[in-house]
Amino acid sequence: MAMIWEEAFTRSAGIAWKDNGKAIEGILHINTLDALKRFLDVVHIKYCLLKPYFEHENYPLVESRELLPSFEVDLFEFKELPGFSMVAFERPIDSLHEIFQFDRVHNILDLPETSGGVACPLLNTVGAQNLQTFRSRLPRKSHEKFMQQFGGKDISYLEHYPVLLEYLLQLERGQVMSTDRNGEFYLSGVYASFPSDLDSEIKRFGFKIKKFRPGDNCLYERNRLFVYQFLMELYGFPIVSERRTSSALFSRRLFRMGERFLIRVLGQSDRTITTLYSHPRAKHYPRAEKVALVSVDKEQKEALAILKRDGFFVDEEKRVIILRILYKQHRFNPFNVREDRALSVLRQEVIHPLTGEVLSDLNIIKDTYNMILRLTDIVRGEYMGIITFKRQEIVKDTDTHDKRLKFLYSWLSKHQRRIIGYSDEFYAGVVKALDSYLLNPDNYDTFNDLHDLYQEVWAKYSYIQQARKVKLLEDLLDREYKGKKVSYLEMLQVMTDVLNDLKFEIVNYFDELVGNVLAIGEQILSDRYLLRNYFEKEDDELTEYGKKTKKLYSRLVSLLDEFRSIRKSRRERNPAPALTTAM
């Protein structure tokens, strides 16, 4: 393992490293954001992931499920591990007009020759001034070593960055990079504070997606957590620390301003490097990606064989790889039954620890077979692990029914949108595992003693069962059924069958699902083609196909009326229904 660390990334991205890791050979010229990102990938993976892994015997590897949205709240903070935040601009810094605070580090090429007709006083002392600025923010115990290592050097140049990172990681606040007059990147600031107007952003976003209404405090209180979570997840985070929250909201602000930027943050609790950056194809949100050290499940035998054959393991014995996940953001859609899906996995990349080569055709984190295995282990009480139940209780292992139900609640919340959208075969496996436990007569007495918890799990399960049917209705809007195009007659037949089944299942009532049903139904009923060619014509003007279509259209009208009556009666009994989607 030590040999892998010594050689790690020696040839990656065309950057040469000396064996002692003290400097990059030659002067480094980087003048595009893409090239800077590749450079930072090498440095940060090497010094912030690989180095700590080999220095800490019990390094807390990231579980693959932690990289799947929706992201879970961190369980522990590992203060001995590195953490940082940074921003890079593909433009020169304009100190007075920047929208955040930081301590300026100068490159001699970013200084004007004169300032108001007077020679700039920093021109001849820029290196010494940079050292003094940096030293003033370091803990006192590091002053002497820092000055011994960097005395007489200009720390703004990128060739010093890998070694300087040891000290940058000791600073509480962010790093800043930008370009000089030649368009080349350099370290242009330290101790940066990223602005985070969280209250305004949540409220602005909540009004935009119509989860809040002016003057409606009850609606705000009911939906605030959903809006907060959705907003944070768009940028790759759960509701977490100030460092990651401010990085997410700062990237949101920079993107709206049309900046060419990169924001990167590593949390000491999530052990994951998260990058948010502008991209020509990213029209609505900055691109989001994460890099972490992950242990591949031993059941993924095919993937393990390929990774071993091609040398992608950082630690073969523990099946450790460097995994990068690229995400796709989704704009909020109130008519989508998976409305809480802010983010989904776009691509997975395993990074070679020596060459930087990327392997992108393996499914490491979205393996449905392993999801079913994990669910089966939970219901059998054989799963060994830790979860946070409702963000407030840490639960370890599944050796009691109380713990199993809490694990099930968390598992269903985590994977709700995937269970709703995945294949019938996968769903059948989920149903088989859950029914074998939740409907087992031998467990009834136990579940009576754990009544409230059991009902919470059952409500999650019922929501998913009903939501899969609503997802079918959503697909039918485009006249698609299980991946195939269908006729108007077939569309109406399936829709009326689904609604007929669904009305008997809403003993467990979910207002937002009924709302989706009505919205989908109204779109079908207002279809101009259906109205003009079938419903508005007399029977004697129609073919047999047309008569059947008209009859089913009328049946759909009746079913939607029944759903409206159900919704009205439930709202009269319960005027403020709670949100039931996963939080």
Domain final residue pick, 177, 193, 209: 193
Residue 144 lies in a domain: yes
Residue 22 lies in a domain: no
Residue 336 lies in a domain: no
Residue 212 lies in a domain: no
Residue 105 lies in a domain: yes
CA distance 127 to 312: 41
**CA of residue 493 relative to chain centroid, distance:** 38
Owner of token pair 């001034």? 129
Residue 290 lies in a domain: no
Residue 148 lies in a domain: yes
379, β-bridge pairs: none
Give the start-end residues of each E strand in 211-342.
261-266, 273-277, 287-295, 320-329
Show the domain range for 130.
86-193
Residue 324 lies in a domain: no
Q: Do 236 and 258 contact (CB within 8 A), yes or no?
A: no
Considering its fold, how many domains does the chain have in total? 2
Handedness of CA 344, 350, 356, 359 (dihedral sign): negative
Please, what are the averages of pLDDT over each run of 10 residues along the chain (583 residues)? 42 34 58 93 94 91 86 80 95 92 86 53 73 92 92 89 94 93 93 90 92 92 90 88 88 93 92 92 89 90 91 93 92 69 87 90 80 89 85 86 94 87 88 93 92 93 91 87 87 92 84 89 89 84 89 92 89 59 39
Domain final residue pick, 193, 215, 238: 193
Domain final residue pick, 176, 193, 210: 193
Token pair, residue 63, equals: 């579980």
